[in-house]
Structure 1
Amino acid sequence: AVTWVEVGAWTYNYSDQGDYTWEQARNYCQTFFTDLVAIQNKREIEHLNESVPFHGRYYWIGIRKLGGTWTWVGTRKALTKEAENWAAGEPNNRRSNQDCVEIYIKRQRESGKWNDEPCNRRKRALCYQASCQPFPCSQRGECVETIKSYRCKCYPGFHGPECEDVVQCAKLEPKGARMNCSHPFGDFSYNSTCAFECQEGFERRGASTLRCLPSQQWSAETPTCTAVACPQLAAPERGRVDCSHPHGTFAFNSTCAFSCQEGFEPTGVRRSGAPAALRRLNLIYPVSETCSPTAAIACPVLSAPDRGELNCSHLHGDFAFGSTCAFSCQTGFALMGSESRECTATGTWTGDAPRCEAIACPVLSAPARGELNCSHLHGDFAFGATCAFSCQTGFALRGPESRECTATGTWTGDAPRCEAITCPVLSAPDRGELNCSHLHGDFAFGSTCAFSCQTGFVLTGLESRECTATGTWTGDAPRCKAVACPVLSAPDRGELNCSHLHGDFTFGSTCAFSCQMGFALMGLESRECTAMGTWTGGAPQCEAITCPVLSAPDRGELNCSHLHGDFAFGSKCAFSCQTGFALRGSESRECTATGTWTGDAPRCEVIKCSALVTPKMGEAACSHLHGDFAFGSTCAFSCQMGFVLMGSESRECTATGTWTGDTPQCKAISCPVLDSPSRGQLSCSHVHGNFTYNSTCTFSCEEGFVRMGAEVLLCAATGNWTRHPPVCAEDGAPFLKQVLAYSSGTALAVAGVVLSGILIALLAKRLSDREEKKKLLNPTSDLGSPGIFTNAAYDANL
């Protein structure tokens, strides 16, 4: 994350996550902003100290030692004493490797001061976002950041808020000279250059080239063209001269006519100003106008001047009246004085004795950045003088190494100049930029070129190179190497596919991640190597595709094996059921690559037993744990009164779907089989089987016999007859029959007093049989226990 503080025309920025080396911090600032902060004054330091938060390792700023000089890296300018803000005792360059600078933000002591530190230490980056535009100050000045604004520091020759105005020099209007000008910034403005030439017969007075300087002045006065001058002519003795001067007295194109007094006649020729070409050679005509007399008068003998010659013609004798002597000089010398003298009628020579002086050449000066060493044979810068030229270190001579003053008053060769020795033209490294300052010409001696790299590239080699006096650059050519990121590897169970723009795993490399079948990518699908040497995002992982969590079916169990994580791709789950339950559906399921399970969810169904039927004349009481007649169901059986259970009293539904035990039945209780009495008959009705519960048997006797015992016997639930079977006895007492037939029990009691014991017993027996028969006919009456008859005599009598 980045936090910034607004400050009018630009922003200060700082990193609030992570610390960087100085190089990484600058790369960070150049990537997201302009550069590491360039602090320009005390007020700026105060503002930073107030606005930026405290950090224990402090902040890097844009100062670094380059070539032993503390330099603002953003502007490549050396740190001045006035701008220094070092803490006490700093910089101390401890261990000789402290080439970078930190600022103490909100430090308890010396807050806002600077300290030199090793560049590989890690600190926060303190950056600035420039307010200057990409092409500020009309590209005619340096954009200087200031708090709340910026200003343009214009290069020489320009002025104005944005350096938009150009210095103007006065318009040149030379007289008599041809002018040819070039105006890079407008007519007669800064760096305008004008060259001047003169017509034939005229020579220039002043510099040949003028340049408009930043001071609004021309580099020299405007030159003029003046006519080439010839020596002044005098009238001959006994004669006169009449001249016309179109360009000045005795100058180029002047014409003179000579005449003599009476008695004399002119000798010689008409003379005119020497052509420019002859003038430049310092030659004049060797004859003069003279007037010859009629008598020969002798004059002093003349001799040739030093470095000259004498040529005389004698009309009336050697050196006599009328003799004319012409003077000339050796090559390289010019006649100063009369070119000829004539012997007059008075015996004197016209004019003065001439002399030969060495022809002068223009004074030479040393070329800029060079030196001049001259030897003079016949006077300073005169014929025969030789001047040798040399240049300062770093400059090479262009032109002749020496010049000689010739007989024509000109120097051999052209004026040499000292040009800065050039180095091979440098080009920006691939993916980088080049910023050069040229003192003496493009890529020449003294030129300094600073190298920088585009975002995402780091400079390998020197940050700057200088053109030396030998025409070579210091150091080797640097390269811009893409910032490297850590090598990435494919995630476990995944694959990696990278494209590299500038080298393996470097700035601009993009890596796409994918996973094997059954695995899903968790994280970014691709990562890119940034200019900071870090990858975007975090490392992705391939996690097995998960299926919904399975649970054991009700009344069942689940047993899973997991290859790549719980319930994930490759997991297998086996299903089983508890005892008494059967699995319905897949016995096992597998998690597929699509995140779904094979098969359907199984279930455990309770094992069923066949439905039980209640036995006839019985009852069944069942309890069902898991459903009717299913595993765990228990049925208890019982029978109605008079019936006995045959088989299992209870049955349980087992895990195999079968019942324990056998099928029970209710069987009627059996009584002993009855036989017909002797002399009697037996008639039985059987409800539940022969001689079983509720069977009824009726006894009867043949005529003449009397039943002794109960007439009707009932098979009770106990398995016994209600009475003992009766017997048939021979009938011998009719009277007793009547009594027994019509007497109640009470009557028997009274009668018993008077009757004998045998009679009482007999009556009681008959009464008892009568009551028993009533009970048989009335099912609701208490049957009681069957009577036990032990006296066989009584039974037989009854």
Structure 2
Amino acid sequence: MLQKSGNTLLSLAQILLVATLILFFQDLSSNGGAQAWSYGYNNSPKRRWAEARQWCQEHYTDMVFIRSKEENDFLNNLLPLNSNYYWIGVKREDGEWIRVQTKQQVPLEAQNWAQNEPDKLPARDCVEIYVKREADTGKWNNEGCHKRKGTVCYTASCKQHSCSSHADCVETIGNYTCECHPGFQGSKCEEAIECKPLLDPERGSHSCVDPYGSGHFNSSCRFQCELGFELEGVPQLLCQSNGQWDHPVPLCQVKQCPALNQTIISAGSMNCSHPIAPYSYNSTCKVTCDEGFEIRGQDWIQCGDNGKWTASVPTCTAKKCPYLRDPADGSLRCSGPHGEFSFASRCKSTCNEGFLLNGTAETECTSLGRWTTHIPNCTAKTCPTLSSPSHGEIFCTGPHGDFNFGSRCTSTCDDGFVLHGTADINCTSLGRWSTETPHCLAKKCPSLSAPSHGSLSCTKPHGEFSFASRCTSSCNKGFILNGTAETNCSSLGKWTSDRPRCSAQPCPLLAKAPHHGKMNCSHPHSPFSFGSLCDFECNEGFRLRGKPTLRCNQSGVWSHNLPACQPVQCGAFQALSLTLSMNCSNPLDEYSFGSQCHFTCKEGYSMNGTEMLFCSSSGFWNDTLPYCMAEGMPLGAALLMYTGIGAAAVVVPLLLVGLVFLIMMQLKRGENPIVSDAPVWGDRDNPAFEF
């Protein structure tokens, strides 16, 4: 059945290998060897990796995945030479080399790669083993899974029910053995090991839980004692795998209560009985007290099943009398050989300062728990009765009644009055008031004086300038009151309003001097008020029309109307001759100060006189009216003609009205309005001549 020479024999061997299972056994150590698996291989036909695994799963357990170096060497020796080598159950998934049956990664120490393997070429994810190769024999190489190679499989000996659940099935050479878990024995490890039987402790019992039979491995027994007894030892025992209990059987001991010292009972005695052991479970002690004392707590106690007395040791205490409090407004001083307010205690009462004792001072607590007398009272001393001050009230408070010791009386005054004296007075421990009763005085307001240029009149029901005083201010003629006329002295000691002032009666304001004039004013009180005096004068060339002096009277009216400055008027020119023409400029008013007139003669005439006349500040023209003289006319004739016309105009004006009107119209047509419109001298008033 080993490899033979010759093509005929080789072909025959390949046909026989398809149906023949070759078994080899190897008992390897437990550190990862073959563990007595049965191995089989097949070289005809050669298969792809997936086909090889499918064939192993159909005829065996699975494809060999090699668990250790020992198994690797074993297969290299077992398998015959095959030029295409053999697939094994190792494959690359997600970049890791895994055993396909367990899906676990192959440990690095178990990987047995040939030199420079595995390579990184793609699609080479299946693993072959070099069997009986000259170089790298028994080593691994990664190849494409589509290639065809020999098949090597394995079969396990252990089955599901080969051993009991208390054992591990271990492969042996061509067989298996059951390795028992601790605490079990038998061919299949189905029998639990037994421990010695247990007995109940005296005054106790036990109960067990037996998962594998009474007193067998893993049996657990718990011990308990009767009431009043306690375990001494481990309360729970366990049957071990060696057939021994893990601890000795515990004992039940009677519970002990703390020993009692009978001499600690003062003013009494204690008697005890012990049915089991001194001061142990069910022991009882009873206490009795001397006369004048009573037991505190239960008169008997017993040691309970928990090792504790049912109560604390009772004591004998002196009987108590009712608790005494200090008398109101007094104190109580007590002394007692057996404690405060107890049998034989004595108490003495005293009163505080300002109080008198009413009753017996001393009392004593008897053996019956009662006082011989009641606690006395302390009554407060009384002060004289008080009455309210005039214009005020008195309020008293007293913890012991009005006007008794400790009373406090507070005096208050009505609005507008202040307390003179101490507000609070106390009734002292001597039955006297601490100070005299205060009285109420009207509050004072600041003194007032009459306003300047006025007078002050006051009423004073409680004294001058004191609460409820009323003062009225008035002003002299020519002055007016600025503020409130009446003011009252309030309850706060303040005047209800500020003192008024008397201001001079104002006259209408004179904003500025007349046009072309000056104004000079004096104000004895305030500008443009009663007594103010204003003088007026006009500039040169102007004359005052109105009174030169204005005075502001007591009614607030100026004595005269405001004057005005009018320009000084020069005399108007009489009718001019037909040969003389005139042209005037009037900056202020016609023929007034500053007016200028320019005269010209007709052609063929020459002027005799001043060509330009102007109206001076005195109201006169600077020269006489010129006249025109025919060239070559004697001077006398010309003068006669000029004066004759002037005289005729003065003497017979009515005869010439029509002629003047015609001349004026003619002149108007000739564009000489100044001459034609010029009024005669008497048509205007000349202020320069008004006296």
TM-score (ref. length: structure 1): 0.31
Which fold has the larger relative contact order, with Cα–Cα distance below 8 Å and residues 6 or more apart in sequence?
2
TM-score (ref. length: structure 2): 0.35
